[in-house]
Amino acid sequence: MKVLPFTLLSLAAQSAPLPRHPLNRTSSNFLNTPFDSDNSTYFGDLRAAVSLDYEAASSDSVTVVPYWRIRPASNQNPNTWTTAIVTDFDGNILDSTTEFLSGTCGIVTFDPAGNNDVHIYPTPFIQTGGNAGLHFSLFNTSQDDVLDTPHYDDARCDEQQTIDLAQFVTGMETTDDELHGTKDMEVIASSSEVAAMVAMFEKQSDYSPTLMAFMEDATRSVMAFDTSVPADWALDGIKESLTISGSPGEYVSFQVGLVNPTGDAVTVSDVSFTNSSNVVPAFNCFSMGGKVSGRSVEP
């Protein structure tokens, strides 16, 4: 995924907000923990934290739906994902069955074996080879499946009976490894939420903006998704202003993500900004070839 300071996303219209679990970082090294005898199958870098009440923990079977909101890699087809792994707090694998699994949510039934605290891993992976021959594949997914065209089918996640089963999920946990950990901007909106966001955007006249603008500071990298957007954008709305601070003479950067709600071809020919504080001498847009609005700035 390429990180861009200025990103244009094109979406075709695709209906109600779904659970948005908090994303928490943990120093637990579950990313690098194998769970098979060959030490080649790993839990992955994201998991759902589940806290069961006494009645649920004492039962033989519990069904839980985590809304992990993850975007599959470009060569992964989420419709072929078949198996999530369920463990107790200490990493011991529990008997489970995955009824449904998509990038938005998963329906997982398991025997809690008396455990109140449980973890569910949506994307366990297999690592083979080494050095230049290192290869990763999703657990229980064939290479042929991985190369299929993604469909991002998550309609079951919109059903109320599915939403109700998210009650025991307390949050999503990701490794604090900067390279592998899930970032806030990688928590994506479902197709129904994208459709609702697009439906709210109405062009008022021929001179109205045709793109939806979302401003972010430099700590929240805007990434180019294919058919979705960050959950924060879809659920919190357009962000056409931003407050950032810097020291005198400091070069301060920020980002503008543009979403094309119509799907029509759009060309960005010019970019300008309103400086409400009158303390910024000039703006420089990297994605427009360094074009400057305001007083000239040395490259």
The answer to whether residue 173 is domain-embedded is yes
Q: Residue 121: name the closest of 50, 19, 202, 193 by CA.
A: 50
Of 141, 164, 186, which residue constitutes the final position of a domain? 186
pLDDT tier at 45 (50, 70, 90 boundaries)?
confident
Residues 159, 206, single domain; the answer is no
Helix then strand then coil, % of the chain, to nearest 5: 15, 30, 55
Instruction: Look at residue 61 and tell me whether its pLDDT is greater than 90.
Output: yes
Contact 155, 164 (CB under 8 A): no
**pLDDT surpassing 60 at residue 16:** no
Beta strand 46-51 with 96-101 is unpaired
**What would the pLDDT profile of 198-214 be if each residue is shown by its tens digit?**
887 766 555 556 788 88
pLDDT of residue 298: 41
Residues, the chain, total? 299
**Where in the sequence is the domain holding 99, given as residue range(s)?**
23-186
Tell me, yes or no, whether 242 and 273 share the same domain: yes
**pLDDT tens digit string along 259-288?**
888 767 777 777 776 666 666 777 777 776
**142 shares a domain with 33:** yes
Same domain, 145 and 79: yes
In a domain, 289, yes or no: yes
Last residue of one domain, picked from the residues 162, 186, 210: 186
Q: Is there a domain that residue 34 lies in?
A: yes
Structure tokens belonging to residue 182 = 């899930």
Indicate whether 175 and 53 sit together in one domain. Answer: yes
Burial 179-215 (b: 16+ CB within 10 A, else e): eebbeebbbbbbbbbbbbbbeebeeeeeeeeebbebb
pLDDT: which is higher, 236 or 7? 236
Cα gap 96→93, rounded to integer Å? 9
Where are any strands of DSSP class E within the chain?
6-10, 23-26, 41-42, 46-51, 62-64, 85-88, 96-101, 106-110, 117-121, 125-128, 135-138, 169-175, 212-217, 254-260, 282-285, 291-294
Spatial CB neighbours of 275, under 8 Å, sequence gap ≥ 6: 283, 294
Residue 281 lies in a domain: yes
Residue 221, pLDDT score: 85
Query: Looking at the structure, do residues 116 and 51 belong to the same domain, yes or no?
Result: yes
- Cβ 145 vs Cβ 77: under 8 Å: yes
Helix (H) or strand (E) holding 161: helix 160-163
**108, 233: one domain:** no
Residue 276 lies in a domain: yes
Report the pLDDT value the prediction gives residue 295, as an integer from 0 to 100.
43
Domain identity same for 202 and 112: no
The count of domains in the chain is 2
217 domain-assigned: yes
Provide the pLDDT for residue 15: 43
Residues 10 and 32 in one domain: no
Residue 116 predicted with pLDDT over 50: yes
CA distances to 87, 125, 156, 285, 291 from 90, in Å: 7, 19, 31, 49, 54
Residue 45 lies in a domain: yes
The residue out of 141, 159, 186 marking a domain boundary is 186
Q: CA Rg, the chain, in Å?
A: 22
Does residue 5 have a pLDDT over 60?
no
Task: Note the pLDDT tens digit of each residue in 63-98.
Answer: 999 999 987 665 555 556 678 899 999 989 999 999
C-alpha angle 18/22/25, rounded to 5°?
145
* 299 inside domain: no
Residue with the larger pLDDT of the pair 165 and 252: 165
